[in-house]
Structure 1
Amino acid sequence: MSYSVPALLLAGLLCAQISAQTERELEVLSEQVSLGTINVKRNALLALGRLKSESASRIAEKALRDESEIVRATAIRTVIYLPPRDASSLVIPFLSAKSAFVRKEALFALADISDPVSANSVIAALLSDKDKEVRATAAYSLGRIGSPAAIDPLVSLLKKKPKKKRAFLRRSAARSIGQIAEALAGKEPSDSVPSDFILKGAISSAQGPIEPKMLTRVDVLIRVLSNPKEFADTRREAAFALGAIGSPRAKASLEKYSAGSDYILAQVCREALAKIG
């Protein structure tokens, strides 16, 4: 395909105009982040986040030192478009912040960054943070990060008896085990919601080789799936994780619950069986 000289010149002018507009927008937002009120700073950071660029994240970096907790928390979620190692090095220190809200925002940001270097710090938050919501967020983040180092700490949570106060933590742990299994198989972390609730279509049953470390954790997940006292959401996440791991040892349990009264659990089990093959 060929283009005329006038068309190419017009395209060049448009690109230059867009670039100039973006530069002006960044200058305005940078000034607002530096000199605005709390609300102005927060709105400017949100606008920078929508740009999803490294240059916008560089501007947000200075707000990490702001006196306002809400401004710092918003900045944490805005620096994620920096190179992963740069972004994680800026965010990890906030896992020690006094505010549980700020610690949670840091964990969500680390989930988006998905830098394996952050895994040990997030595992420490999972095991030692005093706030249950922070621990649950850490469990969620580990699934997105996809580090096999998180398998044993996550499994250890599922070995404990289910209690109401641990419901979301257990659910997040089971889901993250499945997402780590997907990462080990070279796949993008997926949602555990059955495909019938997202998009109709065939389910791929292709599985890579199963990591030995994942196989040794299958029994714990089977016990979670089979426990009638377990929370419904956690049982569904355990079924998802078993499908992601792909071990034939899980087939009998998955088949048992693939026709049960819990429609969502039954569907997750059927999809897990399709993945195992």
Structure 2
Amino acid sequence: MGKKTHRELSGRRVSKSANSFTGFSLKLSLIFAALLLSGGVNAQKRVINRPEIVWPKDDASIIRMIASGSIEDKRDALFEIRNRETAEASRLALPALSDKNRVIRATAAASVVFLPADEAVSVLLPLLRDKSAFVRREGAYALGIVRNKSATAALIEKMQRDKDAEVRAAATVALGLAGDPAAVDALVDFLKATPKSDKEFQRRAAARAIGQIAQIARGGKQMAVTPQSFLPDRFKGLYSPDQTIPPVLIADFRPAIALLTGILLNPKETDDTRREAAFSLGAIGDPASRDVLQQSLSSPDYYLAEIVREALLNMER
């Protein structure tokens, strides 16, 4: 046989080396897969053997955890109280309202809202004077959920004067949730001020709060989301007030109607504030607002256009 060329010999060496490397890679892959499988099984066993979290169920455990538990223990106990949604359970949370930890005090605010309204207001009002803005904010929101007129004056004061922007905004939201018509004038006064970027959320909340108050005054339910959807009309479960708009209500809301109309038609207002103004005009339901609302049906802001459409539908029902 003749001599092999250098190219042929080099090719054989490369081929042999490649085959060896491929075999080694295959073995390494198999070993690695086996290790993964073994680890996966062990990991699965570890998860299965993990102890379950035991939530406090009996009153004695809840009382003990709130009195002397860790921060997490106290929060777990307060969450359990909230889940029960009873006045009896809410009373178990009362000591937590004066806990030294601000997180516990704030968490407790939402756990006492199931007390009778007068009692709930009496234990929540002190939170509005708490040194922590976080606690004041949660206390204000909880008072809105309680929905008792005896808290209106305190919430208005917080909306107007609290030094923390989040607390002022929470108080504004709470006034809408509470639904007391006595708050409308204060909300209108706030909206009369020149819009500022640092008060944008609160301005939006004030515009919406007026509509929420109107919904309650008309005997209906507050809408949680606006627009409710972009579905055809027949699929919308819109707000349906139990009564037509009484003339006295129109008179009470007349300053608000004029102000909300100006906000809706003002292109310098933020989109969110104009949307909430449209919602509130529909919630008040003054027939004189139809023409104003119809002007925004073709708005390039499709959220605003849909809110207006829903407002007009509600006014027709």
Letter in 2 for 1:255: Q
Match of 1:233? 272
Match of 1:264? 303
The whole-number CA distance in structure 1 between the counterparts of 2:209 and 2:224 is 10
| Alpha-carbon shift at residue 273 of structure 1 (Å) | 1.5
| Alpha-carbon shift at residue 241 of structure 1 (Å) | 0.4
Which stretches in structure 1 are left out of the alignment for 5+ residues? 1-21
Q: 2:100 aligns with which of 67, 74, 78?
A: 67
Over alpha carbons, which structure has the higher Rg?
2
Q: Please show how residues 63-142 of structure 1 align to structure 2 within 5 Å.
A: 63-142=96-175
The whole-number CA distance in structure 1 between the counterparts of 2:87 and 2:228 is 34
Are 1:215 and 2:215 counterparts? no
Secondary structure of 2:295 counterpart = helix
Match of 2:48? none
CA 1:28–1:254: 2 relative to 1, 3 Å? same
Letter in 2 for 1:153: A
The whole-number CA distance in structure 2 between the counterparts of 1:263 and 1:80 is 37
| Alpha-carbon shift at residue 266 of structure 1 (Å) | 0.3
Q: 1:57 aligns with which of 74, 90, 112?
A: 90
Which structure 1 residue ranges, 4+ long, deviate > 6 Å from structure 2?
Answer: none
Q: Percent identity?
A: 39
TM-score by length of 2: 0.76
The whole-number CA distance in structure 2 between the counterparts of 1:77 and 1:222 is 35
| Preserved CA contact (<8 Å) 1:215 1:247 | no
Root mean square deviation of aligned Cα:
2.0
| Preserved CA contact (<8 Å) 2:297 2:306 | yes
Match of 2:14? none
| Alpha-carbon shift at residue 216 of structure 1 (Å) | 2.9
Secondary structure of 1:193 counterpart = coil
CA 1:259–1:70: 2 relative to 1, 3 Å? same
The whole-number CA distance in structure 1 between the counterparts of 2:296 and 2:66 is 53
| Alpha-carbon shift at residue 128 of structure 1 (Å) | 1.0
| Alpha-carbon shift at residue 89 of structure 1 (Å) | 0.5
CA 1:197–1:101: 2 relative to 1, 3 Å? farther
Secondary structure of 1:143 counterpart = helix
The whole-number CA distance in structure 1 between the counterparts of 2:245 and 2:281 is 14
| Preserved CA contact (<8 Å) 2:215 2:284 | yes
TM-score by length of 1: 0.87
